[in-house]
Amino acid sequence: MRLSFGQELRQVQKQILAPRMIQSMEILQLPILALQERIEQEMEENPVLEMREEDPDLPAEEREAESPDSPTDEERELVIDEGSNNEEDFERLLNLDEEEWPDQFEDRTRRSRQSLEEASQRKLDAMANMTARPQSLEDYLRDQLSWFDLEPELRAMAERIIYNLDSNGYLPGRLEDLLGPDATEQDVELAQKALALVQKLDPSGVGARDLRECLLLQLVVGMPYYEELRTLISSHLEDLEHNRLPVISRKTGYSIETIQAALGELRKLNPKPGADFHESYVPNVTPDVFIDPVEGGGYQVRLEDSQIPTLFISPQYRRLLQNKDTPPETREYIKRKLNSAQWLIDSINQRRGTLTRVAQAIVDHQTEFLDKGPEAIEPLKMQQIAERVGVHVTTVSRAVDDKWMQTPRGIFPLRRFFVGGTVSAGGEEVAWDTVRLKLQEIVDAEDKQKPYSDEELVEQLAKAGIKVARRTVTKYRKAMKIPSSRQRRQWKK
């Protein structure tokens, strides 16, 4: 079958991209600490690379000045492959669809990350005798994921689920809420597979969407009263909550003694599997991005580059390449290393530019969040940032991956600023986080002897400027594990 011109062009693009441009997207994807390790690794493997430590006290203009050892235009022609145009290559790279990436990209990325992880582990071994900080639930679960040989997409989805677990280890809301309105059937299937994987991790019961599922996940075949417990948890949890043992006995045929014995086993299960982990410490992360207030309003993004050394190509090797007496095999070796070094330097510069543009676009969209706090966060999709910056959505995804931003409100992962939303009764889009925070605030402040019904919660939200339908309030209340008004009522003693 003859390929169309478009198919042939994409195949050619893949072949051109494979040797070096894959490295560029790998560099974009690395957080700052991993980038430092990658540079150290390249310095060990590539003799033509040299670095100059920057003086942080120097003015930015002097620090950014061209190195006296930078290649001249004539020398640069010897370094870069003939016929290449880095700027055009990078522009095409950033706009490639995910399906157009070379097949070996994810494999290369995975191997690169494994190499960095091994280097990190060697450094961590040297600190084995130091007092460890309390491990978070997220860290504990992600460590377990590393035991599995997973496809990149499945691992990424499992990590997204882990990141969205609450302090008790539950996944609030619907699984589909993590995917957004444009999710395909394949996306949903991937998310379900990832959730099933997370629910197999320790502690048992983690990743459940409600108490019933949490308890069922902790049942093990062979434990005492296994079958009775499955029945009680699946169909009679509310009766157990209200101590209606005769009702359960009549419906199941179990004796009161059997039900009480099963209850004894039920009390050994953990309804909050994530609560035993300490979450009160500050995450040990290094922000890639900082934001500074601008006089007159708004914020300006700046990248933390002081820890990244300035790389340049060794003048000695450039002279060897130009020397006609240098043996051909030596010249070929040097040229390969020079090409690799120059592409690394260009990739780091491209990472800086792309990350700055993406982060600035995010900050411009979420100014209200930075001014007023999490309750003012705006709905935001990666596609919106991609269109604003002029790159493909997959580039945005890779740019924000594992990156953190230092803001006046604290340190946040860049992915934190991408949130879904719901359409209010007035036709405006409202972020899910905004509705949830305000709803929790209203419930916390209500008169517990006269708690608000869902209809009254709608009225209270409207007073706060959030107009949503009653069914939306009911859905969010249930997702947040907030009992109904009848269950919240506290009777006078």
**Which residue, 226, 312, 302, is CA-closest to 269?**
226
Q: Does the global pTM surpass 0.85?
A: no
Can you state the angle between helices 432-445 and 454-463, rounded to 10 degrees?
110
Please name every residue paired with 50 in a beta bridge, in sequence order, or none if there are none.
312
Report d(CA 34, CA 31) in Å as an integer.
Answer: 5
CA dist 254 and 225 (Å) reads: 11
Residue 299 makes CB contacts below 8 A (sequence gap 6+) with 291, 292, 293, 363, 367, 370
Query: What are the boundaries of each domain within the chain?
Result: 219-266, 421-488
Instruction: Please answer whether residues 302 and 293 qualify as being in contact, where contact means their C-beta atoms are separated by less than 8 angstroms.
Output: no
Q: How far apart are CA 237 and CA 246, in angstroms?
A: 14
Say what the pLDDT of residue 106 is.
Answer: 46
**Which residue, chain included where needed, has tokens 């599922």?**
213
In tens, the pLDDT along 26-61 reads 888 888 888 888 888 888 888 888 876 555 455 545
Distance CA 231, CA 470 (A): 33
Contact between residue 344 and residue 84 where contact means Cβ atoms under 8 Å apart:
no
Q: Residue 403 corresponds to which amino acid?
A: K
Residue of 226, 227, 195, 230 lying closest to 212 (CA atoms): 230
User: Under a CB-based contact definition with an 8 Å cutoff, are residues 355 and 303 in contact?
Assistant: yes
pLDDT (0 to 100) of residue 92 = 53
Q: What's the confidence (pLDDT) of residue 58?
A: 52
411's enclosing H/E stretch is strand 410-413
Which residue is associated with the tokens 């490295």?
Answer: 23
Contact 171, 164 (CB under 8 A): yes
Query: Which residue in 15, 18, 21, 9 sits closest to 90, CA to CA?
Result: 21
Question: According to the model, what pLDDT value does residue 105 have?
Answer: 44
Encoded amino acid at 308, one letter? I
Q: Tokens representing 209?
A: 């969407």
351, 28 contact by CB (below 8 A): yes
Specify the pLDDT at position 236. 92
Q: What residue type is 344 in one-letter code? A: L
For the segment 180-198, what is each residue's pLDDT rounded down to a tens digit?
Answer: 677 788 888 999 999 999 9
Six-digit token string for 102? 């070379």
Query: Counting runs of H as helices and runs of E as strands, what totals does the chain give?
Result: 24, 8
Cα separation, 468 vs 466, in Å, equals: 6
The terminus-to-terminus CA distance of the chain in angstroms comes to 82
* Alpha carbon distance 124, 120 (integer Å): 6
Q: How far, in Å, CA of 94 to CA of 87, rounded?
A: 11
Please enumerate in sequence order all residues whose Cβ is within 8 A of that of 253, keeping only pairs 6 or more positions apart, or say none.
Answer: none
Q: Is the peptide bond before 271 cis (omega within 30 degrees of 0)?
A: no
Q: Report helix, strand or coil for 63.
A: helix
Q: Are 189 and 176 in contact (CB under 8 A)?
A: no
| pLDDT value of position 28 | 85
> What per-residue confidence (pLDDT) applies to 219?
92
Query: Using an 8 Å Cβ cutoff, are 411 and 289 in contact?
Result: no
For the chain, what is the radius of gyration of the CA atoms? Answer: 28
User: Token pair for residue 383?
Assistant: 């596609």
**What is the identity of the amino acid at 29?**
Q
Question: In the CATH scheme, what is the code of domain 421-488?
Answer: 1.10.10.60
Segments of the chain scoring below 70 in pLDDT: 1-23, 52-134, 180, 278-284, 375, 421-430, 432, 490-493
Lookup: tokens for 100: 């157009």
Report the pLDDT value the prediction gives residue 254, as an integer from 0 to 100.
92
| Number of Cβ atoms within 10 Å of the Cβ of 418 | 21
SS3 percent helix, strand, coil of the chain, rounded to 5, is 55, 5, 40
Q: How far apart are CA 38 and CA 116, in angstroms?
A: 7
- What is the predicted pLDDT for the residue at 429? 65
Report the C-alpha gap between 9 and 11 in whole angstroms: 5
Provide the CA 306 distance to its chain's centre, in angstroms.
24
